[in-house]
Amino acid sequence: MQNILVTGGAGYIGSHICIQLRDAGYLPVVFDNLSNGHRDAVAQDIPFIEADIRDSNALDRAFSDFRPSAVIHMAALIEAGVSMLEPAQFYEVNTAGSLNLFEAMRRHNCHRIVLSSTAAVYGNTHLDLLNESLPVLPENPYGRSKAMIETMLADYSATYGFNTIVLRYFNAAGADPDGRTGERHDPETHLIPLALQTAAGVRKEMKIFGCDYETPDGTCVRDYIHVDDLAEAHVKALQNITPQEESAFEIINIGTGRGYSVKEIIKLCQNITGQNFPVSIEARRPGDAANLVADPTKAKMLLNWEPKFCSAHDIIRHAWNFYKKTMP
- Which residues are paired to 93 by β-bridges? none
268 closest CA partner among 216, 220, 314, 202: 314
**pLDDT value at position 241?**
85
**pLDDT value at position 189?**
77
183 pLDDT band, cuts 50/70/90, is confident
Evaluated on CA atoms 117, 122, 127, 130, the torsion sign reads negative
- pTM of structure: 0.91
**pLDDT value at position 244?**
60
The residue-averaged pLDDT of 110-138 equals 93
pLDDT score of 179 more than 80: no
- Digit-coded pLDDT (tens) for 190-230: 899 999 999 999 999 999 999 999 999 999 999 999 999 99
Beta strands in the chain (DSSP E): 3-7, 27-32, 48-50, 70-73, 112-118, 163-169, 171-173, 206-209, 221-222, 224-226, 248-254, 260-261, 279-282, 291-292
**pLDDT value at position 229?**
96
Measured CA to CA in angstroms, residue 284 lies from 28, 77, 211, 215 at distances of 40, 22, 8, 14
> What contacts 14, CB < 8 A, 6 or more positions away?
6, 7, 8, 30, 32, 37, 41, 72, 74
Q: Is 289 helix (H, G, I), strand (E, B) or coil?
A: coil
Marked catalytic residue, from 142, 156, 260, 323: 142
- Digit-coded pLDDT (tens) for 18-74: 999 999 999 999 999 999 888 988 989 999 999 999 999 999 999 999 999 999 999
CA–CA separation, 90 and 110 (whole Å): 25
287 pLDDT band, cuts 50/70/90, is confident
142 a catalytic residue: yes
Query: What is 3-173+225-254's CATH number?
Result: 3.40.50.720
Domain boundaries, the chain: 3-173+225-254, 191-222+257-326
Q: HSE on the CB side for 9, CA within 13 Å? A: 26
pLDDT score of 328 more than 80: no
Identify the architecture of domain 191-222+257-326 in CATH: Alpha-Beta Complex (3.90)
Mean pLDDT of the chain: 93
- Digit-coded pLDDT (tens) for 236-253: 999 988 666 667 999 999
Q: Where are the alpha helices (DSSP H) in 27-140?
A: 56-66, 80-85, 87-90, 97-107
User: Maximum CA pair distance of the chain?
Assistant: 57
CA–CA separation, 175 and 183 (whole Å): 7
CA–CA separation, 328 and 323 (whole Å): 9
